[in-house]
Structure formats: C-alpha cells, structure tokens
Structure 1
C-alpha cells in the first residue's frame, strides 16, 4: 500500500474566476489583453492568481488565439557572448507583454540561417529577430514580422534594422589609440556586416590622422581561433606594432593568446582593445578595454519595433542607430618609448 501524500490539485482558470468573483472568460481576457479590463476587476484577477499560484497553460492560450506568444531569435554563434545583453534587453520588454523568446543557433551561411529560421517558424512564432548574417535571400517570404539586430550583409527589404553605430564605434577605438600615442596599429577583422562597419570607421579615422592600419582577416571568421591566427600573423610580420584593435572581444581573447605565446605582455608591450563590451571584457581577470555596442539597448528597441509590427502599429521598415560608448580598462596604455 502506498504511503505517499497525493499532490494537491493544480488550480484552474475556474478557481481563479471563483475567487475573484468574475467569469472564466474575463480571467482569460485579463491574461490575453489586460488593457480591455477595468482596473478593479483586473486587480481582483491578479490577486486571485497570486493567492492560488495559478499558471496559465501556454497551449490553451495558443488554442484560444491565433498567436503563440513566442518570438524566435536567431544568432550565429553561442561562443560569442555579445548576444547575452541583446537577449536581456529583448526579454525586459517582451516578458511584460507575455512573450517568451526561443533561441536558435546557426553558423554563418545563407542555408544555415534559413534552416534555423525555418525551424522557429515551424513552431509558429509570432515574430523573428535575426542577429546573424541572413544573406540577401535567405529570409525572403518568412510571412511573420521580422527585425534584424546589428549590421548584416543581407537585410530583407521589409525588415526593421536596429543596430549599434559600428562605424562610429570603430572611429572611437581609433581615437582612443591615437590619443594614447600609437601609430603602428593592427586590426583583426572579419567577413560579417558588423565587422565591415567597424573596420570602415576605424580605417577612416586613422587615415584622417595620416596613419595606415595593418588589417588582417577581412574574409575570415570572428572567433577566438581566428583572432589568435590573425594576431600571430601581425606580430610575426610586423613586430613593431604597439596596438591591436579586435573586431570583437572574442577575437581580442585570441590576440591575448598570441601575445603571451611570444613572451609579450598587455598593455606593457602591446595595447589591446575589443568591441561589444561582453562578459569577457568585464571580467576582473581580463579588464579589457572595449567599445560597448549597447546590445541591451538594441534589444529593447528591437523588441519594441517587433511588438509594433505584431500589433499592426508599424508604418514601414525603419533603420535606427544606437550610439556606442568606450569602456576604458586595463588593456590600453601609451606605447613604450
């Protein structure tokens, strides 16, 4: 004979309605569109939900409406932590409106991005956020509201684009190095749209100062491994460089490895500056100077643009730039005389 205590029955929408003194349909309306319910009744329902510990069934909500209350987010590499702040910004807005974010990882390439997006669309997401390189045609005909986060080589014509001002951020990195006195400067770049804008802004500002940057990896990846390989090439072929600007913090980490392998130190021998102000840059161990792309702010604005599209309030595709901020830490210093 079993001696275990049976679990308490899970509260239902009918229990909430009874405790709040309203109809089950009104409880459902509070869960789906609270703005249409009077303050008094809405608060009564919320109080009953809290007292009972009621959790609405997402499946039931989906059946009751044409929406799943889910948003798909496509990124291109879990190893690059820049997207963490983007996700936090997205969720800070979307959760208040009852949406959950579903994440899909994909490597660069038109087919891989399309596969990731198609997988999310198969789950009937209400909208898509693309934080990866979609290619010119990979996302054509998605038939759901779509917002692109960050500069990309291919942005659908009907999608919103919310991005950090990467050209301005690249120029900001150049200004910092020039002000410190550096003139022999290397840059670790990559093939993506964001890397291209950061490279253009960086190179343009150095050219204005009469300095020719040494740029490596324009057609490559932006991973730690790529950063290590590009930094190795720079240090071996141009041993007189005094500073390295990496297209992102992950590549900067690779540069640290290349510098250490040659018996050099940061910033005594080589100054290093990254981009994204990711968790890597903020760690007390690295203390990496980095351009903050303000991904959390990008995420907030992406979420707002997507909700406008879902609710039919958008007037047309928008392009919005978020100003970057330089975070100076312990990896940049004046060149050794």
Structure 2
C-alpha cells in the first residue's frame, strides 16, 4: 500500500465511451503517526543521521525493518504481529515537516508486505522477533534487495564491545522517524538477550543490533530500559534465540556450496565463482554483503574487479527462496 504526502489525494478515472464497471475502491484510510516509549541513555539524545540503505521504515505501525541476504526483512515481534500494522516498507525516506509530520518517499521506494510470509514471536525480552517478505515494487518491478543493493550479514556473537543501533525512531522536527544511528557499549549481553547503552526512541523497535567492529547484525532491537539519568540498558533478541536463528541463520550458509578463485591478468582482477547445486532461476551475488550482480542460477559466474585489490567476502543467494551459500573469502594483494 503506497503512502502519500499532503492533506488531500485526488484520484482521476479516465473512462472511454462504452466502458463499464470502471471504479476505484478505497478499503482503508489511515492518518497520523504512531509512537512508542522512548529509551534514551543519558541526558542527551546523541543519534545522528544515517545513510544506511539496508534499513527501512515499516508502516503503519512506525517501526524499523532491515534487509538480510535472502531478501527478507527482520523486525520486532509486535511490529509484524498484525497485518494491519505491517503493510509497507519505505526506503529513501525524506525529512519530516518542521512540526514532525512524516513525509513519504515516491512509490518507487515503497514495498508492500506479503502478509502470508509473516513469522514472529512476542514472548518477551530475548524471545521477541519477526521476519517477513515484501512484494516487488509495483513501479519498478524490482525487489527491495535488488533496488537497495545491500543487506545485513547475521552472526552469533554476544561479545561486541560497541553496539550500533540504526533505525527510524521518533524525534522532534524534521528528524522525526527518519533514519538515524548511534553507538554505545555492550551492557552484559547473555543467552538470547542483547543488552546495550545505545540511544533509541520509539520507532527504533525492529532495528538491527550491529557489531560496530564488523558491521554484522547480532540481534534485533525490541525493548527500552535506559534512562535519561544514565542508568539501565536497552535490549533486543540475540541470534542465539533458537527459533529466530532457525529463520535467519541459513542466510549465512545453507545447502549451496560455493567456491571462489582469484585471477589477475596484468592490472585486471577477476574472481571466478562456482556453486552447486544449480537448479535454474536467478542468483544474487554478494560481495562484502552488497549485491553486485544478479545472474542465472547455472552454477558459475565471475566478478570483474578491474584494478580493485583487498579482501572480499562472497556469497550467493537464490532470489526466489531463503537459500544462500557458505561465505568464501578471497584476497587480491
């Protein structure tokens, strides 16, 4: 369902002579913003604007959702528990109006949630998560992963020293429910719960819990707990939650076996990729968690790096399922 800016929407029907049964049907109209309790750590809100293309704003509820390697989204349990509250993911969100009224991107940056794909748990801190898919964009025909070209890699790790939270929390003025980010210390994560003193606000529910050192996602932000006096901590569900990991863990290495071989000819570097099995359809090729090409699932492709050197991590994922390969690291000196 697309969202529009302004206080009026005009719909024109162009009907030719003799046409019958031409009509527009409006099933639901929603206005205003939804907010949740704040969870600021310390006396100041230290969030700053973010350009991370992997995080989107989930409406109507006003949460955050983020892309993983197979093209699905992760969010918090309550954000996706109702079809009426989770119907659209938006990217490239513009600034809000000075009074905080959220503004919407163009239809080409909005993706309708596929209601039948919602899987979630609402069972308290450490067992609170949601996963879902969106339909291809009605304007461009692209999936969200194809359009954004990047996704989060998920790992199991309770020990990151510094935690980053990125998402669409509420704020004052033009920053309200736009993409913002902040880092803070790990506050004793254990078991299925991540704990951290990182600024969040209502609307950050569903944000990725990111290991600042690696950029990997290690959980999903779900609950507040910090105070403006500096006590407490915010928390989320870690990837050590068995049911959550069963949903998302296979995106870092499933039943597809990938191998890679680097080749240099003069100043031109190429990485040759082979995988098995190959069963038709298309594959997304990810280099350092960014989709660099979509290619037929025929078991082989190559990534032309030109003069680029360094260490690159590769993975391939089927575009029509949740199946991804193992990761392969290639170094070109």
Q: Which has the higher strand share?
A: 2
TM-score, normalization by structure 1: 0.20
Q: Which has the higher helix share?
A: 1
Q: Which structure has the larger Rg over C-alpha atoms? A: 1
TM-score, normalization by structure 2: 0.20
